[in-house]
């Protein structure tokens, strides 16, 4: 078999055979196919697509290009959750302990953030002492014990995807439903869970800019999951404005704590409870409750301290520090160094998540390259969101930097310009905004 024939077949719109896809993934993993031929095939896939069988074969081959976690030592159905990325997305640290209160085990292998999408591992590492680089033995011990695991992905988890993703990033080939779906699902299958809920974000701060594309990506991933024997469902959530009230590592973990003490914002609670309801029922721990009853039960557990006490247990079990009252201790303290005020009176009609995300990267809350250092205390607190009525001079948000950090003034003003551009204000109230747009099973 020759790589050039595989490229030509896809260029002329043919479906690739399973053998061709296997040959390709093996060559990517073993570095026997040069980058220019890999990139050429990726572009042909972007332009001519893949059918369900091709997507599933590509996913399974990538999932098996490295180690596949074996969680069969666990009783019951271990679950996983994946978000296609967003700004202010602090759902995982709330969801894992909440699920543990229902006796549901989550083994979450997460990435670090790149660009304006924050990474769950970075957020947890903003808690002093927290260790997210776990050995397989430690993962097993925690999964069997507390039922809550949060760890960085090992180098050998779907290594073919790592090669492909790095090339896609620099060859204009990220934006393709078959490539995104196979990339995400290969890592989820290799992660070893038996039930998965996908949070497919949609809007300015997401890969998918509109609901139709988000639905198409969700359906592709659900089909792959089913063909691979993984119970999969998806919810489509709004990422046109940031989720919740804060963007930035420590700031978001402070918001997590507030949510677990019954003071969460309505959008965060809507997304967490929608995901939890799906996972509790997929894992068979619903005790006969329908999803609306599970959601009500979730709200009770977020308010009465049950989810909070599992969160503290999760932090302590992975080396993190809490004070004598059980509040987490962070590696940096955010300091509100500047307030951005409204230039007009009216209704907020838009707070563009992509621009708020870019502003937070300027402040040091996110990475431009894998090597960039983070200021864990940096970020943005949103005082006004879509639908709010503001008067000229009211606070829209604050810009935070870590107390110990020194940010060049230019970066501060760049962030402020981006924030001003992100907020749109009009005399007319916007239509009501839903955090959960659709649920697909």
Q: State which residue, 52 or 175, has the beta carbon closest to ligand URA.
A: 175
**Cβ at position 111, least distance to ligand URA in Å:** 7
Beta strands in 145-230 (DSSP E): 148-152, 195-202
Q: Which of 81, 90, 140, 168 is catalytic?
A: 168
Q: State which residue, 165 or 383, has the beta carbon closest to ligand URA.
A: 165
Q: Are 54 and 178 in contact (CB under 8 A)?
A: yes
Residue 391 annotated among the catalytic residues of the structure: no
Q: State which residue, 165 or 347, has the beta carbon closest to ligand URA.
A: 165
> Which residues on neighbouring strands pair with residue 410, listed in sequence order?
none
**Cβ at position 154, least distance to ligand URA in Å:** 15
Chain centroid to Cα 289, Å, comes to 28
Residue 64 annotated among the catalytic residues of the structure: no
**Nearest Cα residue to 241 out of 214, 290, 201, 286:** 201
Residue 286 annotated among the catalytic residues of the structure: no
**Cβ at position 353, least distance to ligand URA in Å:** 16
CB under 6 A: which stretch of 24-32, 56-64, 175-183, 217-225 binds ligand URA? 175-183
DSSP of 11-62, one letter per residue?
HTTPPPPHHHHHHHHHHHHTT-S-HHHHHHHHHHHHHH---HHHHHHHHHHH
Site string for ligand URA, 65-104 (x = CB under 6 A): -------------------x--------------------
Give the contacts of 346 (CB within 8 A, at least 6 positions apart).
389, 390, 425, 426, 427
**Cβ at position 207, least distance to ligand URA in Å:** 6
Q: Are strands 246-247 and 148-152 parallel, antiparallel or unpaired?
A: unpaired
Residue 168 annotated among the catalytic residues of the structure: yes
CB under 6 A: which stretch of 173-181, 322-330, 364-372, 407-415 binds ligand URA? 173-181
Maximum distance among all Cα pairs of the chain, rounded to whole angstroms: 67
Q: What is the DSSP letter of 432?
A: P
Start-to-end CA span in the chain (Å): 39
Query: Among 180, 217, 280, 355, which residue interacts with ligand URA (rule: CB under 6 A)?
Result: 180
**Cβ at position 292, least distance to ligand URA in Å:** 31
**Nearest Cα residue to 321 out of 308, 312, 309:** 312
Q: State which residue, 174 or 416, has the beta carbon closest to ligand URA.
A: 174
Interaction between residue 276 and ligand URA (CB under 6 A): no
Interaction between residue 184 and ligand URA (CB under 6 A): yes
Query: Among 110, 183, 241, 401, which residue interacts with ligand URA (rule: CB under 6 A)?
Result: 183
Q: Are 259 and 272 in contact (CB under 8 A)?
A: yes
Interaction between residue 60 and ligand URA (CB under 6 A): no
Q: State which residue, 205 or 320, has the beta carbon closest to ligand URA.
A: 205
Rounded to 5 degrees, φ, ψ at 209 are -85, -20
> Cα dihedral sign for 13, 42, 191, 298?
negative
Beta strands in 180-333 (DSSP E): 195-202, 231-238, 246-247
**Cβ at position 69, least distance to ligand URA in Å:** 17
Q: State which residue, 178 or 242, has the beta carbon closest to ligand URA.
A: 178
Q: Which of 80, 89, 161, 238 is catalytic?
A: 161
Residue 351: strand, helix, or coil: strand
Q: What is the DSSP letter of 429?
A: P
- Residues that bind ligand URA (rule: CB under 6 A) add up to a total of 7
Distance CA 250, CA 261 (A): 17
Q: Which of 39, 83, 146, 183 is catalytic?
A: 183
Residue 183 annotated among the catalytic residues of the structure: yes
Q: State which residue, 177 or 437, has the beta carbon closest to ligand URA.
A: 177
Q: Site residues for ligand URA, window 113-172 (CB under 6 A)?
A: 165
**Cβ at position 415, least distance to ligand URA in Å:** 25
Residue 415: strand, helix, or coil: helix
Q: Which of 82, 245, 358, 367 is catalytic?
A: 82
> Cα dihedral sign for 332, 337, 343, 346?
positive
Q: State which residue, 197 or 425, has the beta carbon closest to ligand URA.
A: 197
Rounded to 5 degrees, φ, ψ at 352 are -65, 120
Query: What residues make contact with ligand URA under the rule CB under 6 A?
Result: 84, 165, 174, 179-180, 183-184
Catalytic residues: 82, 161, 168, 183, 187
């Amino acid at each position: 078999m020759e790589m050039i024939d595989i490229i030509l077949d896809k260029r002329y719109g043919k479906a690739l055979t399973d053998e061709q896809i296997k040959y390709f993934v093996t060559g990517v993993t073993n570095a026997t196919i040069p980058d220019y031929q890999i990139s050429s095939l990726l572009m042909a896939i972007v332009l001519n697509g893949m059918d369900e069988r091709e997507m599933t074969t590509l996913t399974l081959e990538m999932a098996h290009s490295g180690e596949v976690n074996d969680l069969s030592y666990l009783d019951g159905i271990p679950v996983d959750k994946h978000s296609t990325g967003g700004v202010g997305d602090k759902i995982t640290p709330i969801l894992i302990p909440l699920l543990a209160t229902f006796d549901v085990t989550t083994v979450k292998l997460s990435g670090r953030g790149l660009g304006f999408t924050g990474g769950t591992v970075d957020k947890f590492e903003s808690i002093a002492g927290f260790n997210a680089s776990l050995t397989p033995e430690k993962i097993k011990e925690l999964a069997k014990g507390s039922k809550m695991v949060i760890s960085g992905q090992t180098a050998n988890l779907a290594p073919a995807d790592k090669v492909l993703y790095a090339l896609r990033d620099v060859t204009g080939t990220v934006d393709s439903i078959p490539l995104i779906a196979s990339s995400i699902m290969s890592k989820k299958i290799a992660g070893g869970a038996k039930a998965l809920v996908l949070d497919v974000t949609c809007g300015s701060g997401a890969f998918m800019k509109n609901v139709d594309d988000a639905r198409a990506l969700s359906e592709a991933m659900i089909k792959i999951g089913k063909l691979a024997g993984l119970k999969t469902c998806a919810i489509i959530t709004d990422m046109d404005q940031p989720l919740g009230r804060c963007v930035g590592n420590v700031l978001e973990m402070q918001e997590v704590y507030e949510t677990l003490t019954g003071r969460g914002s309505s959008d965060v609670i809507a997304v967490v409870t929608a995901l939890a309801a799906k996972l509790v029922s997929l894992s068979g721990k619903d005790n006969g409750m329908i999803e609306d009853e599970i959601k009500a039960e979730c709200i009770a557990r977020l308010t009465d301290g049950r989810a909070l006490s599992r969160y503290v247990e999760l932090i302590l079990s992975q080396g993190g520090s809490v004070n004598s009252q059980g509040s987490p201790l962070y590696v940096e303290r955010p300091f509100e160094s500047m307030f951005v005020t409204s230039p007009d009176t009216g209704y907020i009609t838009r707070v563009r998540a992509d621009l708020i995300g870019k502003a937070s990267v300027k402040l040091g809350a996110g990475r431009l390259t894998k090597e960039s250092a983070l200021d864990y205390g940096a970020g943005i607190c949103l005082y006004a969101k879509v639908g709010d009525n503001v008067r000229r001079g009211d606070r829209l948000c604050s810009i935070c930097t870590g107390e110990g950090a020194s940010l060049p003034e230019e970066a501060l003003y760049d962030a402020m310009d981006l924030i001003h551009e992100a907020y749109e204000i009009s005399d007319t109230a916007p239509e009501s905004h839903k955090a959960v747009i659709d649920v697909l099973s």
